């Protein structure tokens, strides 16, 4: 009888712990939103500072608006298979936006065929629309590219691109949505 009681007690404790963790995530997200908002107010008071409004959502909120594959790529730093994305060989004229927050990320005018199987660009739409971070996963040293508004993982940037930058922004199609321009 005591072994059964101990198992029930362990399940109850586990359930309560999970509930507190999930509630804590919402609190963390809300605290992060407040900090970003306060920092934005401080910085925008300084003359000449142009900041993007940050988009901060919980995992639960991201899962509601993204497909499972988009979520895996953008929120969990995944990678789609080479030559599988709809934009790797796409030739239309327009703007590639973040699938998570709709920020302009890349222009078709700066797209080129790298032969790698992913959409490749030699420069972003605007330097302040993307940011980079060190990525040492998979036993490699790479530079990750993220959306500067919502921190979505977009892909990686390499120093083997064409002039004028010499950069190759290798981006997952699932992290993008295309808007045609006339």
Q: What is the CATH number of the domain that holds 122?
A: 2.170.150.20
Please state the pTM of the whole predicted model: 0.74
In a domain, 57, yes or no: no
User: Has 170 been annotated as catalytic?
Assistant: yes
Q: Which structural domain, as residue segments, surrounds residue 44?
A: 2-51
In a domain, 11, yes or no: yes
In a domain, 62, yes or no: no
pLDDT of 139 reads 85
Which residue from 129, 147, 132, 125 is spatially nearest to 51, judged by alpha carbons? 129
- Domain match, 30 and 100 both: no
The number of folded domains in the chain is 2
- Domain match, 25 and 74 both: no
- Domain match, 47 and 90 both: no
pLDDT of 25 reads 46
Q: Which residues in the chain show pLDDT less than 70?
A: 1-51
Cis peptide before 137 (omega within 30 of 0): no
- Domain match, 35 and 90 both: no
Q: Residue 163: CB partners within 8 Å, gap ≥ 6?
A: 122
In a domain, 156, yes or no: yes
Strand partners of residue 97: 104, 177
| Catalytic residue, candidates 100, 101, 147, 170 | 170
- Domain match, 74 and 164 both: yes
In a domain, 13, yes or no: yes
Q: pLDDT tens-digit profile of 69-98?
A: 999 999 999 999 999 999 999 999 999 999
pLDDT of 157 reads 97
């Amino acid at each position: 009888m005591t072994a059964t009681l101990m198992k029930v007690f362990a399940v109850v404790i586990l359930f309560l712990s999970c509930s507190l963790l999930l509630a804590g995530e919402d609190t963390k997200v809300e605290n992060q939103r407040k900090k970003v908002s306060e920092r934005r107010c401080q910085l925008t008071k300084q003359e000449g500072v142009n900041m993007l409004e940050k988009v901060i959502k919980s995992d639960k909120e991201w899962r509601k608006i993204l497909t499972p594959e988009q979520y895996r790529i953008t929120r969990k730093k995944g990678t789609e298979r080479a030559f599988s994305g709809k934009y790797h060989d796409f030739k239309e004229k327009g703007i590639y936006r973040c699938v998570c927050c709709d920020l302009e990320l890349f222009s078709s005018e700066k797209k080129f065929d790298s032969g790698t199987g992913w959409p490749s660009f030699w420069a972003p739409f605007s330097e302040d629309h993307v940011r980079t971070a060190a990525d040492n996963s998979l036993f490699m040293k790479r530079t990750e590219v993220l959306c500067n508004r919502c921190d979505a993982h977009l892909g990686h940037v390499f120093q083997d691109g064409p002039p004028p930058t010499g950069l190759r922004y290798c981006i997952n199609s699932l992290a993008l949505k295309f808007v045609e321009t006339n």
